Structure 1
Amino acid sequence: MSRFEKLSHVIWHCQYHIVWVPKYRYRVLKGAIGEEVHNCIEVYSGRLGCRVEELNVQVDHVHLLVRVPPKISVSQLMGTIKGKSALRVFTRFPHLKQKPYWGNHFWAKGYCVDTVGIDAEMIRKYVKYQEKEEHRQVRLELA
């Protein structure tokens, strides 16, 4: 089975490791709140056509390894996940919203994202091989 996925006009493998934290890095992502965040990430990622490969909700941060189709930007994915999950958490756990320091924001601004894929040396070898292969194909066509 190929690691690539297909859409109508593209074959793709776009995988990202994303980390983000609650506002002030409060240790609130435990118990029912952590479970709700976990469920929200699964549901809202799926609705965008993304596939969660790994998900780890720690008490003060979230790690997400996700495949994102090229038609969806990472910022669109994160805006949806953080926005919708904050609304769900504040609805299901209204006591969190009563604290004055939240200011109607559950998540801290921003996130850390890193691409996951073939390492740089492997890409260099691939590109080098492709160039040699192209030259070989041109020679065969001229012969």
Structure 2
Amino acid sequence: MNGKRWKRSATTVYNIGYHLIWCSKYRRKVLVSEVAERLKELLLQKARGIGVEIVQMEVMPDHVHLFVKTDPTNSPHFIVHQLKAYTSRVLRKEFPFLKSRLPSLWTRSYYCESVGHISEETIRKYIEDQKGK
């Protein structure tokens, strides 16, 4: 088991990825031009700080898509909370017009889907097939 697909810790071999999406408050189209560029920098910076790899990122005018890889100790909720809190605080400080247009930068909700190399159907079949062994 070696290659880029798996990562290792002292006791674990893992491949954990999440597709995360969250929106600006009221779906306001404020994530454009300098705000969008700065948001990308801040997301990469904070992700490195919490041990998360951003594999793919797309900032749309009113929402953010991320594909992240992490270790088993980071929950999706922790990752999203850290990224949203940090970026909101810094962006609202650096771009004061965001404070006047929105009570907060992000909505309280987010979307999360686990992403893996093996499909759910394959895992179900593998577990079912273990009975006969």
> What TM-score comes out, normalization by structure 2 length?
0.90
Q: What one-letter code is carried by the residue in structure 2 that aligns with 1:98?
A: S
Identical pairs, percent: 28
Q: Who is 2:109 aligned against? A: 110
For the residue of structure 1 that corresponds to 2:18, the secondary structure is strand
User: RMSD of the TM alignment (CA)?
Assistant: 1.4
For the residue of structure 2 that corresponds to 1:98, the secondary structure is helix
Q: What one-letter code is carried by the residue in structure 1 that aligns with 2:69?
A: R
Give the aligned length: 130
Choose from 51, 68, 82 the match for 1:66.
68
Indicate if the aligned counterparts of 1:25 and 1:60 stay in contact, CA closer than 8 A: yes
For the residue of structure 2 that corresponds to 1:38, the secondary structure is helix
Deviations 1:85-133 (A, max 9, x none): 001101110122123xx22x1101110000111212211233245454x
Deviations 1:36-70 (A, max 9, x none): 11111111111111111100001111100001211
For the residue of structure 1 that corresponds to 2:90, the secondary structure is helix
Mapped pair 1:80 → 2:79: no
Larger radius of gyration: 1
Q: Who is 2:29 aligned against? A: 27
Name segments (4+ residues, structure 1) moved above 2 Å: 124-132
> What TM-score comes out, normalization by structure 1 length?
0.84
Give the unaligned 5+ runs of structure 1. Answer: 136-143
Q: Distance in 1 between matches of 2:115 and 2:124?
A: 16
Q: What one-letter code is carried by the residue in structure 2 that aligns with 1:114?
A: E
Q: Distance in 2 between matches of 1:67 and 1:45?
A: 10
Q: Who is 2:49 aligned against? A: 47
Indicate if the aligned counterparts of 1:15 and 1:116 stay in contact, CA closer than 8 A: yes
**CA offset at residue 13 of structure 1?**
0.9
